[in-house]
Amino acid sequence: MIAPLQPSRPLVAFDFDGTLTVRDSFIAFLVWRAGIFSAALKGLALVPAALAYFGHRDRGRLKSKMVQAFLGGVSLETAREDAARFARDKAPRLLRPDALAAWNDWREQGARLVIVTASPEFLVSPFAEALGAHDLIGTRLVLDPHGRLTGALDGLNCRGPEKVIRLKAVYGATLDLAAAYGDTDGDAEMLAAAHETGFRVFRGRP
């Protein structure tokens, strides 16, 4: 259960992929988990879906195809265990040092820190926990009756306007973001909702 936000406590939102990290964590996770050879074969099978994307421009639809190809039938428990191992193994090479410095600076100021990401929540969760994030808002995935991933998204892909919708669902319609950080047009609405904005301000590499 999310605790109520204290009136004097600033709320700060960070995108994850490309902002806190140097590259897309979801693709990195899928390749890491499958192995290079298997990932390449699955990638070839996804070529029609990738080509179709240039017509419909629906990132959520493409992401659903990726989840189905790489994780379809995998239990959420197994996916979470794999995500925890991935975070332990890869965090030192994924996280930007200057983004972490900004994160820690806000934490020292007493801010409530939330990660808002298009990546699946199960994947980012161990990173968020290690960083001491107060909240995590990400893309959710549908499970079958046996707790296995189907490939479908539970709701919309968490990017663009959906980020602000999800933030308001948690913090209320009168959302008051002290600051927000992002690196793509998928963060534009979230950045526009904040008093202080940081677009592609983090350049550091591990």
**One-letter amino acid of 153:** L
Which one, of 1, 71, 14, 19, lies nearest residue 184 by Cα? 19
Give the model's pLDDT for residue 49. 86
Which one, of 98, 101, 115, lies nearest residue 11 by Cα? 115
Q: Is 1 exposed, middle or buried (0-12, 13-18, 19+ CB in 10 A)?
A: exposed
Alpha carbons 164 and 169: distance in angstroms, whole number: 8
Alpha carbons 180 and 190: distance in angstroms, whole number: 7
**One-letter amino acid of 120:** P
Phi-psi bin for 110: left (phi > 0), alpha (psi -120 to 50), beta?
left
Query: How far apart, in Å, are the Cα atoms of 48 and each of 10, 26, 59, 143?
Result: 45, 20, 14, 25
Alpha carbons 64 and 62: distance in angstroms, whole number: 5
Q: Which residues of the chain have pLDDT under 70?
A: 1-8
Q: Is the Cβ–Cβ distance between 156 and 60 less than 8 Å?
A: yes
Instruction: Write down the residue that tokens 């490309």 correspond to.
Output: 18
Model pLDDT for residues 71-110, shown as the tens digit of each residue:
999 999 999 999 999 999 999 999 999 999 999 999 999 9
Alpha carbons 186 and 160: distance in angstroms, whole number: 4
Domain boundaries, the chain: 11-199
Angle at alpha carbon of residue 16, lines to 68 and 126, rounded to 5°: 70
Token couple for 122: 């199960």
Angle at alpha carbon of residue 138, lines to 92 and 177, rounded to 5°: 95
| pTM, rounded to two decimals | 0.93
Handedness of CA 37, 42, 47, 52 (dihedral sign): negative
Give the model's pLDDT for residue 58. 84
Give the model's pLDDT for residue 1. 35
Considering the domain 11-199 in this protein, what is its CATH number? 3.40.50.1000
